[in-house]
Structures are given as structure tokens and as C-alpha cells.
Structure 1
């Protein structure tokens, strides 16, 4: 091959993932593996766990995981950018307390709910400002605000609980869609899931999130406003956590400062199990939703089989560790394979030039 030919040829740029057939790109993914595992767990529980096929099981399962489903949507976007929000459980608790105190003071429930969501939004603004404008690590910031927001919630209400809410709204939080065992809360979740899925997968904003997660410096040089993008993600997270807090309060007819303690760990576990990389730049919304349902279904089946909560937590932890380890292992194998292909092409090119 002559030097002139080499210089006049345009380099061909390809993405490694798109060199595979379409069916492999769709089916051979971590997200589809989680969906397949969910199907296996459901099928196994239907065969071997007593009462798992009861409509009440479906109702209680969706009610229990609904706050996690809601919060996992914005959390997915945050982790895709290589950040994290550990304060969401405390925001749910604070929103619950605000809802209870306002209703107790005579505010109509809709107004109390809106103000509780605004409280969550303000919490998100605080997190976002400290992370993006002050430049502090999100892990450190949200560990601090986890304690701060929880302390405010407990300080406002003390050890007491508020359990007098309008019956119409508590019934609505517990009601099912007519003729089905599916709770009404699934409807706002579906709306939010569509919004966040479109935002992540089908908009320039979503593509910018992946770019930030892969390399924030390169993303900034390409014209993406990294700071403002991350800031709005934390605002979204706080707002959705505030809404989840209102639902949590009405579902259990109980506003307490310690509501939703530990929920942030359940949310993050589900997001990571659903295929989102803790190192950013990778993840899909359908995998996250499947991850939440997998953890919830597994816990529900094990409880019906009289397994203790401690064992359930151990199993969930093992699943999460295996998920993270497998992701790192697959990334290492993929890197080695790409390097080997590059070396092979390099040797072929050298031999071609010599000829």
C-alpha cells in the first residue's frame, strides 16, 4: 500500500457496541439479564411459595416498592453522571413531617402536599448547589445532608407521630385501579417513568448525561454545562423524594421523623442492580425498573416463605455485590478484548505497509 493512498483515505470511526448484530445489542445486555432473572424469580415463587399468586400479594408488593420506584427514576440520572444522592430517604422523612404538621395546622391536604414537594425541591437545591457550585463531592455532601434533613425532621416532630389525615386522601393512596389488584400510585409512576425515560434515552439532555459520566472534562469542552446539568438533577431528585414522602405518609397514615429510614440504600441497590454503572456513563431505565421489582419481588416471596428480614438483607446485599463485581469483570474483559483487537489490527497494518 503506497504512502499516498494511506494519506488520502479517511479514517473510519466505529463504535464497538454497534459492530454486533442488533439482536445481540438488544438481548445480550445486563438489563435483559435482570429482566430474565426477575421472570425466573416470579415463576419460582408462583410454583413454590404459598399465597404468592394472591391478588393481595401484588397489591402490597407495588405499594411497598412504589416510593423506591419513584425515587429510582431521578437517581438513575444522577448515577449516570457519576454522582450520588444519599439524602433521599431523609428527604422523604422530612416531607412526611412537613405534610403532617401542615395538615395538623389546618392546611388542606393538596396544599400541604405541594408545600412538602417544594420542601423536597429546596433540599435538592441545597445538595445541587453544594455539589456543583461549591465543588464538593456528592458522596460527602449527601452523607451530611442525610443527617441534616433527618435531624430537622426529628427536631420538628420529636418522638411523636401525626396520624390524622383526611380519609379521602388516605383511601386514595391505598386504592386499586378499578377491577385490578394494582394500586392507583402506579399511574403517576408510569407518567414519571415515561418522562424520565424519554429524557434519558431520547433527548440531547440525556446524551449529555452519559457524556458527563464518561468524561466530564470532555463533556465541558464539547459545550455541555456540566454544573447546571448536575444541579437540576439534584433538584429533580429532591422533588420526587418530596412527592414520595407525601405518598408514604398517606399510605401508612403516619407522619414521623424517622419515616423511610434506610430507603436510600434500597434505591441505590436497585439502581445498581438494574445495570447502572457506579462509575457513570452507563445504564438504562428499563433495567432499573426491573431491578426495583426484582428486589421487591424477592423480598416479598421470602417473607411469605417465612424467611427473616436479616436473611433477606443478606441476600439483597449478595445480589448487589455480584452485580457490581460482574459489571467490573465484564468491563475488564471488554477492555482486554478491544486492546487485543487493536494490537492485531496494528500488526496487520504494519505488515501491509511493509508489503
Structure 2
């Protein structure tokens, strides 16, 4: 099933720019549960059950909500990273973007601006930082990973400078922004519902729109994409702006939950986002991606980190455990793909 989906994703475009079989009659919604994200979802369920059986306290609803809450920011960044990885690109500045957007929104709130307008400005700033990355890549003609490695330091330095190296406090916590966005709805944090909505929209964009087709085509074969008239520069610029906006949105949700601005927040978030996307089934070779898989991958990393606490394992081992999970996920994915290729060759497919 995964191979068939991959073949459809790399098929030539139709006259309207969409890939064949992308209409409602193609049964895309029917195939979605069997897509790449099903593997990481199954692994996530097994891991939660295993930890819960060994440590029953892990099944506490409050604990599970905390895991989801802590995974929102990585999941949003990973959802955007899927688009970049699908194009064989990487943005290393999303963690610093997250911090600077959060700090900017917090400072605007403290200065008296309406909190809702402040967070809109924070999201817009995130998109602007994505545009800065895109312009540097385009004008200087360097890979995105190099450009964003530099802007990561610039954005983080700005966050520290604007906050004077201290937390930004004194925010209007009685405002509806903090009570609504920082609260819960139907038993789940409000940010989780925002994440679900964003993931659903991005999945539709990636799978069913000409823009999503262009993103995947560039990753599958850049030369062929250029020959077919796809502008790599414009597509890359749009994706980098999207990734920046998602980092800004994560900053807004983080500010609603933390109720203060910490310029050091989000350190290492970019690597966690890449790891979550890879665990979720987005290959580094480009050409395909799964947004919900990346979201599940982020939650899985959150479960691993939380599980370490329940087993009294020092927090210093968290990065080691996360890295091990990534290696296992990549190894299993590579093994399964090799077996499928061998099976197709055996039957002459």
C-alpha cells in the first residue's frame, strides 16, 4: 500500500497541476488510515500501553494531557518540517524562531497591546523570519541548512537581547487569550485542537493540491521538476515562510500555556522536529511526507521523555533515548523498504 501511494505521488501532473488519482473518487480518505503514519501510530500506542502496564500512574488522564501539551510545539514545527524534508531541505532556525516570536508577543502584551493582536503579530513575525531565510537562500545562493544555521544564532540572539536575558513577566493573565488558548476544551488542551486542525489542513495541502504536488515533485527529482516548469525558488520560498509561520504559531500557543516569555525556550526544538518527522515516516531522501506521521512522531518523543521520569531515569538520558528511537525508526523503515523492493523485483513489478 505504501509503495502504491509513493508511485501515485511521483506520477506526472495532470493539466491542472494535480497528481492523477487525487480527486475524491480516488478514495484518498479511505486510504489515509493505511498510509505511512499508521506505523508510528501503532508504535505510539504500544509504547503508551507498555509504560502504562509497568507504571499504572502513566494512564492518569492529567499525565496524558501533559504529554500532549508538551508535544504541541515540536509537532507544529515537525508538520512544517515535513514540507521541507520532502524538498530535501532543512530549517535549523525553527527553535529560535519559536523563541523570538514568543518573546515579541510577550513584550507587545506587556506594553499594553491587546493580547490577541500581539500573538497575531508574533505569528506574522515568524512568517517574516521564514521569508528572511528564503531571501538569504535565494540571494546568497546557499543551501537552506547553511542559511538557517546562521539565522538560528541571529534569531536566538535577538530574543535574548529583547528580553534582556530574563523572563518577560507581568502579562495580562486575566485576558481571554490566556483563559481560552491556555485552557482546555472537551477534556484536551486547546492547543491540541489547534494542532489537529493545522495537521488536517496541511495534509490536504500536501496531498491534494498543486502546491503539494510541486513540493513533492521537487524532492523526487529536482531536474525533472524544473524541466516541467515548476519554480523551485518560489516553492521553496513559500515553504520556508510556512515553516516560519508555524513556528510563530507554536510561540503563540506556548505563551498562552507558559504565561511568560523565556528567551531560552525552544532550544533543540529544530532537531526534535526533524526527528519527529523522520520517525513519522518522512524520508530524508525527499519526494514524500506525512504530516500526521510527524505529529505522532512528536508525541512519541514526548512519551519517551515522560516515560524516563516514571522509571527514575535521569533527564540527562532523554537525548540518548530520543536518538535511539530515531535510529530504530530509520533502521526499521529502511529494512521494510528494502524488503518491498526485493519483493517487487521478484515478481517483476
Normalization by structure 2: what TM-score? 0.85
CA displacement, residues 138-188 of structure 1 (integer Å, 9 cap, x when unaligned): 11111111111001111111222112222233333331114x2x1111222
**Offset at residue 317 of structure 1 (A):** 0.3
Is the radius of gyration larger for structure 1 or structure 2?
A: 1
Is residue 2:287 matched to residue 1:281?
yes
Q: 189, 203, 208: which one pairs with 2:209?
A: 203
Write the distance in 1 (CA, Å) between the matches of 2:197 and 2:56. Answer: 33
Are the aligned partners of 1:164 and 1:253 in contact in 2 as well (CA < 8 Å)?
no
Report how many aligned residue pairs link the two structures: 324
Write the distance in 2 (CA, Å) between the matches of 1:66 and 1:295. Answer: 11
Write the distance in 2 (CA, Å) between the matches of 1:262 and 1:177. Answer: 29
- Matched position secondary structure for 1:164: coil
Is residue 2:126 matched to residue 1:100?
no
Is residue 2:160 matched to residue 1:140?
no
Is residue 2:188 matched to residue 1:172?
no
Write the distance in 2 (CA, Å) between the matches of 1:56 and 1:67. Answer: 19
- Matched position secondary structure for 2:262: coil
**Offset at residue 338 of structure 1 (A):** 5.7
Unaligned segments of structure 2, at least 5 residues: 9-26
* Deviation larger for 163-172 or 98-107: 163-172
Q: Partner of 1:352 in structure 2?
A: none
Q: Partner of 1:9 in structure 2?
A: none
- After superposition, residues 1-355 of structure 1 pair within 5 angstroms as 30-167=36-173, 168=175, 169-178=177-186, 180=187, 182-332=188-338
Q: Partner of 1:353 in structure 2?
A: none
How well do the aligned residues superpose, as a CA RMSD in angstroms?
A: 2.5
Are the aligned partners of 2:127 and 2:248 in contact in 1 as well (CA < 8 Å)?
yes
**Offset at residue 131 of structure 1 (A):** 2.1
- Matched position secondary structure for 2:148: helix
CA displacement, residues 274-321 of structure 1 (integer Å, 9 cap, x when unaligned): 110112112222322221121112222222232222223211101112
- Matched position secondary structure for 1:198: helix
Write the distance in 2 (CA, Å) between the matches of 1:270 and 1:309. Answer: 19
Write the distance in 2 (CA, Å) between the matches of 1:18 and 1:143. Answer: 34
* Deviation larger for 46-55 or 119-128: 46-55
**Offset at residue 323 of structure 1 (A):** 2.3
Write the distance in 2 (CA, Å) between the matches of 1:183 and 1:15. Answer: 36
Unaligned segments of structure 1, at least 5 residues: 1-13, 346-355
Write the distance in 1 (CA, Å) between the matches of 2:41 and 2:178. Answer: 33
